[in-house]
């Protein structure tokens, strides 16, 4: 409210001045008539007057003043004869009526001036209110224009982002198509090269076969002489082949054992990671259901929970205090609210007893 008065200080000041003017005019109108004796007569008769209601004026003639009383009231003046009582009475009544009329007229003028001043003040207040409304409307319009400009800027930015994303996607698609074309061409070239190599190999094999056929015919002549030697060499070759096969089987067995051990190690590592994630899920469930007591800070304690395969809690206990009895009770309440616990991802990960650190502030 004070801010409104400060903002419209001109209207407030004008209203105060107007009310002060009205009060002054009313005071002047009420006390317009004053006692003539306070001004001095200087040897002249002064008539006292006051504002009265014309309907309440007594129209009866006053009692005539005696010459003796008139002589006492008016000093003797040798040059001016005393007025007659009837003329004095008529003059007093005329002066009183004139004074009353003047007072009524001045009162009416004061009322008109007050009314005009009040109307001016109301017009000034109305003008100030209209200017304030116009300023507020202008501010609202400017805010709305700023919001609209911001919305348009955001829409343009969004459109540019969408266009950029679309261009990037199109570029990526073109690059993928070009890469696929290059890979296809490379595959075709490799296939052609492989076909040429195969043809050359078949040609060499045919030539070798012809050569070997000629050699075979030459060897047939020497077959009988070389039969014994050949048999001996065959036996030696077979023995060497058997030894090589046995060595190969041994190497394969060692390789299978190593692969089995490696697989077991990977499975153990996977189970360890899954078990860690499973314990973390249980910890997160309990911490999410925990309500911190007032003033509790740096909470840390170990919790042991025994469970069934379905996650139902069979029992639990705190392996040491969590800081205070109130904190211990809040942790126990959180464990009860967490029943059932998250289910284990596999039987190899499940454990009937889980021990974890309750550290909500970590």
Region 200-216: mean pLDDT is 90
Q: Please say if the pLDDT value at position 288 is more than 70.
A: yes
In this structure, are 163 and 305 located in the same domain? no
In a domain, 120, yes or no: yes
pLDDT band, residue 247 (cuts 50/70/90): confident
In this structure, the answer to whether residues 168 and 291 fall within a common structural domain is: no
* Residue where a domain stops, chosen among 154, 176, 198: 176
Mean pLDDT score of the chain: 82
- DSSP label at 304? E
| C-beta pairs of 49-57 under 8 Å, 24+ apart in sequence | 49/95, 49/96, 49/99, 49/100, 49/103, 50/99, 50/103, 51/100, 51/103, 51/104, 51/107, 52/100, 54/100, 57/100
Q: Is the pLDDT of residue 62 over 50?
A: no
Q: What is the mean pLDDT of residues 151-161?
A: 88
pLDDT at 65: 46
- Looking at the fold, whether 18 and 165 belong to one and the same domain comes out as yes
Q: What are 164-197's pLDDT values in tens digits?
A: 989 888 999 999 889 988 999 898 889 899 888 8
Percent of the chain predicted with pLDDT > 70: 81
In a domain, 308, yes or no: yes
169 plus 286 within the same structural domain = no
- Indicate which CATH number applies to the domain containing 319: 3.30.1150.10
Do both 171 and 300 map to the same domain? no
Question: Is the per-residue pLDDT at 256 higher than 90?
Answer: no
In which band, very low, low, confident or very high, does the pLDDT at 139 lie, cut at 50, 70 and 90? confident
Question: Cα 31 to chain center, whole Å?
Answer: 68
Domain range for 328 is: 281-358
Q: How far apart are CA 174 and CA 164, in angstroms?
A: 15
Confirm whether 223 is domain-assigned: no
For residue 71, pLDDT over 60 is answered with no
74 pLDDT higher than 80:
no
Are residues 302 and 172 part of one domain?
no
65 in any annotated domain: no
Model confidence pLDDT, tens digit, residues 225-239: 878 889 789 888 988
Is 346 part of any domain? yes
- Are 165 and 296 found together in one domain? no
Long-range pairs for 63-67: beta carbons < 8 A, 24 or more residues apart:
none
pLDDT of res. 28: 65
Among residues 176, 207, 223, which one ends one of the domains?
Answer: 176
Out of 176, 205, 228, a domain closes at 176
Q: Is residue 264 part of a domain?
A: no
Report the number of distinct structural domains present in the chain.
2
Q: What is the pLDDT of residue 221?
A: 84
Task: Indicate whether 216 belongs to any domain.
Answer: no
């Amino acid at each position: 409210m004070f801010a409104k008065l400060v903002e419209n200080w001109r209207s407030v000041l004008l209203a105060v001045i107007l009310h002060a003017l009205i009060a002054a005019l009313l005071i002047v109108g009420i006390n317009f008539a004053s006692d003539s004796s306070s001004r001095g007569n200087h040897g002249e008769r002064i008539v006292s007057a006051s504002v009265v209601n014309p309907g309440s004026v007594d129209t009866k003639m006053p009692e005539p003043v005696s010459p003796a009383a008139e002589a006492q009231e008016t000093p003797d003046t040798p040059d001016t004869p005393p007025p007659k009582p009837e003329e004095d009475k008529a003059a007093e009544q005329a002066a009183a009526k004139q004074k009353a009329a003047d007072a009524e007229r001045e009162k009416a003028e004061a009322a008109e001036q007050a009314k005009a001043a009040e109307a001016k003040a109301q017009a000034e207040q109305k003008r100030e209110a209209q200017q304030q409304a116009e300023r507020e409307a202008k501010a609202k319009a400017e805010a709305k224009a700023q919001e609209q400009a911001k919305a348009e800027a955001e829409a343009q930015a969004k459109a540019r982002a969408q266009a950029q994303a679309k261009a990037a996607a199109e570029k990526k698609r073109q690059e993928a198509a070009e890469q696929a074309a290059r890979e296809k061409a490379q595959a075709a070239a490799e296939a052609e090269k492989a076909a040429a190599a195969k043809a050359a190999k078949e040609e060499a094999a045919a030539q070798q076969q012809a050569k070997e056929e000629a050699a075979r015919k030459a060897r047939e002549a020497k077959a009988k002489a070389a039969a014994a030697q050949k048999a001996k060499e065959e036996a030696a070759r077979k023995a060497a082949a058997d030894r090589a096969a046995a060595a190969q089987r041994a190497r394969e067995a060692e390789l299978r054992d190593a692969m089995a051990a490696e697989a077991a190690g990977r499975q153990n590592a996977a189970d360890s990671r899954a078990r860690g994630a499973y314990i973390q899920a249980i910890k997160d469930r309990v911490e999410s259901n925990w309500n911190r007591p007032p003033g509790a800070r740096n909470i840390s304690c170990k919790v042991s929970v025994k469970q069934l395969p379905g996650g139902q809690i069979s029992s639990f206990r705190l392996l040491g205090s969590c800081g205070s009895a109130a904190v211990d009770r809040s942790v126990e309440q959180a464990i009860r609210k967490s029943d059932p616990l998250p289910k284990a991802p596999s039987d190899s990960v499940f454990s009937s007893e889980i021990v974890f650190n309750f550290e909500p502030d970590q």
